Structure 1
Amino acid sequence: MDADLVLTTDTVHTLTGGGPPVEAVAIAGGLVVATGTRRDVAGWRGARTEVVDLGPGTLTPGLTDGHLHPVMGLQLTADVDLSGARSLEEAQDLLAAAASGRDPDAWVQAWGLDPNLFGGSPVTNAPLEAAVGGRPAFVRLFDAHSALATDRALRIAGVDGPRSFAQRAVVVCDGSDRPTGLLLEAAAMDLVQDHVPLDPLPVRARQLHELLAAMAATGLTGGHVMDLLGDSRAVVAAAEEAQDLPLRLRFAPWCLPGVDADGLAELVELQGRGGRRWAVGGVKFMIDGTIDNGTAWLEQPDALGESTESFWPEPAEYARAVRALAAAGVPTATHAIGDAGVRHALSALAGLDRPTAGAHRIEHIETLPSALIGAFVRQGVVASMQPTHCTHFTRADHTDNWSTRLGPERAGRAWRCRDLRDAGVPLVLGSDWPVAPFDPRRVLADAQLRRPAGEPDVAPVQPHQGLTPLMALEGYTTQAAWAAGEAGCSGRIAPGMRADLTAFAVDPLQAPPDELADAPVVLTTVGGSIVHRGATVSG
């Protein structure tokens, strides 16, 4: 055998469920072709074989983020990052510094604004106005389902009062029907966002490649992308035309309220289209919005009397669209955060066969009654969850906006990762970047700790919902592969599987989670090609 690449190390977690210990992996033609011990390497090595010694590193199947938005995120994360602001005054200072020196007509964009900074007061554009000096500004809140626009930006967009939408979107207005600047959900946000300057396609293609390279450096080898908006296909194609993408990307375009038969046919026709390392696979729905915005769908209103309706004005239309796509063999992924949203999504999926191209799945599942866990099991529906949403944006004492809106009982069933997994529900983990950081090491750690990694003084949120190290790792590997219909070619290390591999400086199944969160990734490969090599790796 003449392998292209051979990796050696003391510890390899193949996740195959058994077999003798593995110390070496041979790769050829983008696939794993052999596993064995260091003694086997001589028989695999040819004149052109590269042998890489990972030292004390631990090799695992490549990590796949189960829910992220890398292309859309390029625009969502443009300009000023407010995600680190810990007070409204700090956010204002960041905006003012960015606006200073800009042309009076120049736009200011920002992202990651935490509604908790408003301290329970109404979320309006008033704090933005003075900070940006009368310039047009568009500031996205951390959940990416809402934004604040300054009065100047609203005037440019012609938004001067309430609007009607085909989906549950809102231009929030005061008692005089004057916009407050708060825009809820995509249709309302797009009224202003469509006027915000967009970087040229070649620039975004380069930015995408740089972003994916940064993701590869954290150990990611792939991602399930929950959108395909605007010119995303052209951006990805342009990035791949320049050079291979550092990650494999699987896109699920949106299906929105008002879709007709032609629209459904177009979504079916898109399936399988793509390039060398990206493809369309599945369709994304949203049955509700977010709890922080009051746009989730709850069985009972939140503390402010909100979150009582579906994102689809006619939920039965959602169910018909899901079933039509399922009948065509298309797997669906439904954003469902509130308990009523999850219940309705499960009802729509009842009795449907599992598509060969992947499983039907529900995304987020932030507050879940016990009675619905059994439906996940009976129907084979995948749970796709983001542990850092819990650890970054909620608090154990329920003083955060999310918990306050829900009340103690519903906040007490937050992100029930362990209950779902223990019941036998396939559990895929991810970040939802740019809503939360993409680094999988911290997601793996937070999934176990139920608090932010590196912050031991923070009380964990529902600590009994913490996953074991193996469960967390499987959420990024075997479970992600199964959900995508790729269990036969990825998610494990065995001959015939894709050579998508991640090497950690520590053992993710043995290291304390706080240590794992900051441990280097020493090597990442996609299809046998090294897309990230740490400084300590010899070859």
Structure 2
Amino acid sequence: MPTADVLFTGGAIFTGAGEPLDGFAVAVVGDRIAALVRADETAALIGPATEVVDLSGALLSPGFQDAHVHPVAGGTELLQCNLADSADAAESIARVAAYALSHPDVEWILGGGWSMDHFAGGAPTRQALDAVVPDRPVLLMSRDHHSTWANTAAIRLAGIDRDTSDPVDGRIEREPDGAPAGTFHEGAGDLFAAARPAFDDELAYRGLLAAQAELIPLGITGWQDAAVRASGAGIPDPVPAYLRAAADGTLKVHVVGAQWWRRDGGIEQVEAIVAERDRIAELVDPRRVSLGAAKLMVDGVAENGTAAMLSPYHDHHGHPTDNSGLSFIDPELLREAVTALDAAGIQAHFHALGDRAVREALDAVAAARGANGPGGARHHLAHLQMIAESDVDRFAEHDAVANLQALWATHEPQLDELTLPFLPDGAESRHYPFGDLVRAGTRLAAGSDWPVSSADPMQAIHVAVNRTFPGSDAEPLGGAAQQIDLVTAMTAYTSGTAYVNGREHDTGSIREGYLANLVVLSPDPFAAPAEQLHRTTVLSTWIEGAPVYRLSSVTVKEPS
């Protein structure tokens, strides 16, 4: 065996599954892991040019992979009017005012990141924006990208008034006389599509690079983009940016793109999705970018009453209403579509948040398995805010992967103020039932949904293990039975997502012959108390054997 280019030693090794190994070292030659050897048997691997990385007690892990993320949307928001991390409504409005002042020549003020829990009823008003920007249109996506906030100028330019009907897949918040109040939920945000400026490919490319510069320092070395070839809601299609970045060498991570299933379309979309997958495979190395998945938006979100529930939402007085949320895709069409996608080798990536949406998605996977047999595409359900107890076993039964956004599995204002009060008694116990899924033998993957919430895997892992956010004195959401152990959470974020992305043969694990996509974590989370997991940070990220981020660096380096 040749001497190593890089040798990691002096810390525990998490291989992508099971408890970490102590007393071992990892040798890298070129872009691959050459050996996992005992730490006292490395002398022959060290040559004059070997870089010896002394972990000094830190943990070496496979690079994290994000199973559900929107990098280009998040990156472009960083370049526009960015309201993420605003402390309250006043700060959000102040940021809009400051952006408008510093960008006097921008025709439309675009961006997003505002939090619904900062505004009464989760619905900010047009007047709040008019007070700081009365003369130009303002259009801002919510943090979860399920609602749009507009000022009066934008509403007028879009031709929306009291006579504008709610679309079938959305809702307009209204003033007493029926006039638009300023918040547009779900598909109602698409009413601005014809008026707002289109995203250009240059902005999307810059957004991709900005996103990569945010995500790589968090240890993320690959991801599944949860909406490519999408339109509407002010989100640019990232495919041209990915192709350009792959061609010019600026794309460092590996990417699977989930092609958007149009809610107003039918089964004819399958042929187009398959053709696009095959077209992109001829243009770029599929190991760098592939479009072998389809994104099916089954429902909305609970805080605006559009998540599809088995029981109706309650009103402000605790009484049941006639609203049980929205199924954006007819369940019969969903079953037909997933069966056809599965037959073509296309993975279904479901947004399934309410318990009815989860059931409809599982019904679709069951139909596909029944028609096409087992062992087909690796279908996965993301979000899973509520799952009926009777549906938990069906994940393993139908070989469906649970794609966890664990950072949300805790008591926090958006859940406690805008969701739980409007759900039936007992709903809290069915929220994000990760423990139930694990006990049922469900295969797990993990992601962030960034920019909806933080992309930091260690913050999400902290919540998955504790079911509370750092410093919280609340009880664990759903009780201790829904907590999962650290090995399970780390596995979901590494080899679990590698499986979903079809890359378990060369990423997601520390094994001989695998790509040297690695992350160094300190302090070692396995040596820390559970309540301190959020303190673990990334010291360095390595992609294909090269350091692309070190904590002391201020820029992301390019692999040679």
Same fold, judged at TM 0.5 (above)? yes
Distance in 2, matches of 1:172 and 1:340, equals: 24
Q: Which residue of 1 aligns with 2:552?
A: 535
Aligned CA distance change for structure 1 residues 400 and 202 (closer, same or farther; 3 Å): same
Distance in 2, matches of 1:494 and 1:136, equals: 54
Question: Which whole-Å deviations, capped at 9, do the CAs of 1:138-161 have from their partners, x for residues lacking one?
Answer: 122222011111121022222334
Distance apart, 1:65 and its partner CA: 1.3
Are the counterparts in 1 of residues 57 and 524 from structure 2 also a CA contact under 8 Å? no
Q: Which residue of 2 aligns with 1:485?
A: 502
Q: Which residue of 2 aligns with 1:60?
A: 61
Distance apart, 1:76 and its partner CA: 4.5
Distance apart, 1:487 and its partner CA: 2.7
Letter in 1 for 2:221: T
Q: Equivalent of 1:162, from 143, 161, 164?
A: 164
Confirm or deny that 1:318 pairs with 2:334. yes
Distance apart, 1:363 and its partner CA: 0.9
Letter in 2 for 1:245: L
Relative to the length of structure 1, the TM-score reads 0.90
Are the counterparts in 1 of residues 78 and 210 from structure 2 also a CA contact under 8 Å? no
Q: Which residue of 2 aligns with 1:413?
A: 430
Residues matched between the structures, number: 531
Confirm or deny that 1:430 pairs with 2:447. yes
Q: Equivalent of 2:270, from 264, 267, 271?
A: 264
Question: Which whole-Å deviations, capped at 9, do the CAs of 1:188-227 have from their partners, x for residues lacking one?
Answer: 3233255444665345423422321321111111112111
Q: Which residue of 2 aligns with 1:238?
A: 244
Q: Which residue of 2 aligns with 1:333?
A: 349
Output the aligned Cα RMSD. Answer: 2.8
Identical columns (%): 28
Q: Which residue of 2 aligns with 1:215?
A: 215
Distance in 1, matches of 2:375 and 2:30, equals: 25
Aligned ranges 1:304-383 → 2 under 5 Å = 304=315, 305=321, 307-312=323-328, 314-353=330-369, 358-383=377-402
Distance apart, 1:59 and its partner CA: 0.5
Q: Which residue of 2 aligns with 1:387?
A: 406
Aligned to 2:313, what secondary structure does the other structure show? Answer: coil
Aligned CA distance change for structure 1 residues 303 and 33 (closer, same or farther; 3 Å): same
Q: Equivalent of 2:535, from 499, 518, 539?
A: 518
Confirm or deny that 1:285 pairs with 2:296. yes
Aligned CA distance change for structure 1 residues 101 and 52 (closer, same or farther; 3 Å): closer
Aligned to 2:395, what secondary structure does the other structure show? Answer: helix
Aligned to 1:329, what secondary structure does the other structure show? Answer: coil
Are the counterparts in 1 of residues 327 and 357 from structure 2 also a CA contact under 8 Å? no
Distance in 1, matches of 2:502 and 2:122, equals: 46
Distance in 2, matches of 1:336 and 1:280, equals: 20
Distance in 2, matches of 1:92 and 1:49, equals: 53
Distance apart, 1:92 and its partner CA: 2.5
Q: Which residue of 2 aligns with 1:300?
A: 311
Unpaired segments ≥5 residues, structure 2 = 231-235, 316-320, 554-560
Distance in 2, matches of 1:182 and 1:352, equals: 38
Q: Which moved more, 1:340-349 or 1:507-516?
A: 507-516
Are the counterparts in 2 of residues 290 and 337 from structure 1 also a CA contact under 8 Å? yes
Aligned CA distance change for structure 1 residues 236 and 355 (closer, same or farther; 3 Å): farther
Are the counterparts in 1 of residues 86 and 92 from structure 2 also a CA contact under 8 Å? yes
Distance in 2, matches of 1:268 and 1:17, equals: 37
Question: Which whole-Å deviations, capped at 9, do the CAs of 1:277-325 have from their partners, x for residues lacking one?
Answer: 2222311101101111111111122113365243436331122111110
Distance in 2, matches of 1:344 and 1:210, equals: 36
Distance apart, 1:440 and its partner CA: 1.0
Distance in 1, matches of 2:450 and 2:20, equals: 36
Are the counterparts in 2 of residues 54 and 522 from structure 1 also a CA contact under 8 Å? no
Aligned CA distance change for structure 1 residues 291 and 77 (closer, same or farther; 3 Å): farther
Q: Which residue of 2 aligns with 1:189?
A: 189
Query: Deviation above 6 Å: which 4+ runs of structure 1?
Result: 354-357
Distance in 2, matches of 1:128 and 1:387, equals: 33
Aligned CA distance change for structure 1 residues 506 and 39 (closer, same or farther; 3 Å): same
Q: Which moved more, 1:354-363 or 1:426-435?
A: 354-363
Distance in 1, matches of 2:110 and 2:135, equals: 13
Aligned CA distance change for structure 1 residues 265 and 90 (closer, same or farther; 3 Å): same
Question: Which whole-Å deviations, capped at 9, do the CAs of 1:482-514 have from their partners, x for residues lacking one?
Answer: 223333322221112222111112222221244
Distance apart, 1:415 and its partner CA: 0.9
Aligned CA distance change for structure 1 residues 56 and 467 (closer, same or farther; 3 Å): same
Q: Which residue of 2 aligns with 1:128?
A: 129
Distance apart, 1:459 and its partner CA: 4.4
Are the counterparts in 2 of residues 326 and 352 from structure 1 also a CA contact under 8 Å? yes
Distance in 1, matches of 2:99 and 2:185, equals: 25
Relative to the length of structure 2, the TM-score reads 0.87
Are the counterparts in 1 of residues 166 and 188 from structure 2 also a CA contact under 8 Å? no
Q: Which residue of 2 aligns with 1:499?
A: 516
Distance in 2, matches of 1:106 and 1:209, equals: 24
Distance apart, 1:46 and its partner CA: 4.8
Are the counterparts in 2 of residues 297 and 308 from structure 1 also a CA contact under 8 Å? yes
